Structure 1
Amino acid sequence: MATAYDSADDLSGSDIYQSEPDSDTYSIDSDKNSIDSDDRNQGKDIKPCKYYNKGYCKNGKACSYSHICKYFVKGNCRYGSKCRLNHTVGGGAPSGKSRSQSEPTSCPKLTDGRYYQWQLNGGNGWKDIENDHILEAQYSLPHTKSIKIYNTKYGAVSIDFRRIAVYGKNVRVRRLDDGNTVWAWYCLLRRKWIKYGEKNSAGDPCPVKSSDIEKRFQSNPSGSFSFSIGGQTVEIRFRGMFQVGQSKKRKVARRPLFRNQQMTKQSGQAASLLSRPNLGSKPQWEFKGDSGKWHIFKSRAGSTACSISSDDIERRYQQNPRDRMNFRVQGQDYQLDLGAMTQTNLNTMRTRKIQRVLV
């Protein structure tokens, strides 16, 4: 059975692996504060106390529900280690204390030694997603808003990167972190995502770096970050993930810098210990033709000469999932953008979609 990861803009009927540029605001909170480590070992879901999460539970320690932050359990607490609510099972700040009254809880390293772990839970505990470096590579791209995974235990699963949630199914998804992720910040400018700190098209450096923004975000995820550029003050609002100036409002994204854990020894050791949804393992690269059908990249000679094959592309992708590579077809020069999942004719500048599927 063919299996694949698909990154798509409209997952209601799409079966392609295609990034969606410039279509949505990306407010991502699935970082190192995303889940408690004990939940992985309990074999059942933690049930947070709703009264504790509202600020006070009259039952205190006698409460039959867990006094733990419900957003932390879901994997999207914006406050992280500075949250006034408990982020550990059986410990943390007592119910009813305010943020200023309680000491911030330290956030443990949540993975089993890997850089990150993507997992699904359909009600029977969390299970690792195999080949999650592919998922992570797409998550690290600011223009990719979602991805589709085929042939899991729960069938085809569509993951929303903005909310770290599964579309249309009673299945949860989470991303565990080793605590060392470097987060990059991007702004949407003229339909292109530009990383803060990089030079613009005119060669002028940005006056603020991603690390500056991230430091402020970690201290107050519901706050903002202001800086001056071109004689005006610009504000990045974390809650809505927008950059607001005097006359323009632009989208902002926060994504991790990609780390390929396939290259780590820990990844190989841990892979054999955990139960995972069954996914295909042989990658295949395809381009979308004029008729809408997908065609495999094949190296061939003659009147339909093509200088690269699917395996050639995969080797480059494994080295760098955001790389670009040039090739020729029938004397025409083309460029593949593996990050944007596009193929461009360098003579006509016509662009086609490409996809990577696992078969």
Structure 2
Amino acid sequence: MKKICFITTIPNTLKGFVLEFAKYMHDNDEYDITFICNKNEEFGQQLPEYIHYLPVEMERGINIGGIKACAKMYKIFRKNKFDIIQYSTPNASLYASIAGWLARIPVRLYCQWGLAFIGFSGLKQKVFIREEKLVCRLSTWIEPDSWGNLEFCHEKKLYPLNKGSVVHKGSASGVSLEKFDVSQKAFYRKEIREKWNIPENAFVYGFVGSLTGDKGLNELLMASREILKEHEDVRVLLIGNFDKEYSINKELLSWSKNENKVIYCGSTSYVQKYMAAMDCYVMPSYREGFGLTVVEAGAMGLPVICTDIPGPTDAIKNGITGIVIKKKNYLELKDAILTLYNDRELADKLGHNGLENVRENYEQKNLFRYILEDRNKLLKK
């Protein structure tokens, strides 16, 4: 059997972006599969018995513990003699690429699902750019999850033009149309709106993800504060947990927490239900690998507003499946939201086109077929 090892820093990345593909790989080919991430007993117990789980502690940030993580991975790689290792997220990718190079793993695949350095500045940015270049140099192949980010990396000379590709139309894992089932939209919409006391006739827009500055939360709150002053029938849904709360303007944050039309819902395993309760999905992020939530929103028939950054703009075409705005521009964001608020026919058209786009290009099992073909091609090389 071919031996593959998937490495990420935290279990949630494996759970959200890798696990379903690993199951597909097991069912459709002959692979011995291993997961490596930070220790989490509950996660390990939930995995299918055919997936080996080998925890390796990886602390966030750059620290001396990275040497220990590298050493442990090196021992694991030497012992197991994997044919291919696949890694993503900054720390895991650094440690795995070094250990994999030292252990002479034949295929060292860097799944470049986002570029952390874009959100930094000064010395910190320079350090992370060097780290990114090192990971790329030690990897035998690199796969961003969007064509926009592949072009960006080539322009920035992170790796040469002949090193790197995107599988199919992009996205790390695609969208399960069984989970994001648009036929259940009316039922989910009623359920969530009743849960949060949202009137049926209210116009609802929202965001799903880490609630942090570089996801555009400041611009979203600034736009929302002005919109809610002018329109009584608008609600804002924010789904996710705070991360780096210091990056959010204190005044805006205080206002939003005291405004009953801004609803902080926390994290959920039922993103599809919350999206069904929306009339519009907003992603004002400064950086993304791909921006999976924009196609998840499309699967629920929602028009999408996103910023003009690599990743989301691969899936969202301005005026066709959504509205593309400049990043860090709350006035454009406000105008885009009000455009869809005032023109429901346009919103419906964009949402319908978004659904068709997802069905054609981002359906999960169809994407998995392309990814599996890609992994087998890498091994043959």
User: Higher relative contact order at CA 8 Å, sep ≥6: structure 1 or structure 2?
Assistant: 1
Give me the TM-score of the superposition, normalised by structure 1: 0.25
Question: TM-score by structure 2 length?
Answer: 0.24
- Is the helix fraction higher in 1 or 2? 2
Larger radius of gyration: 1
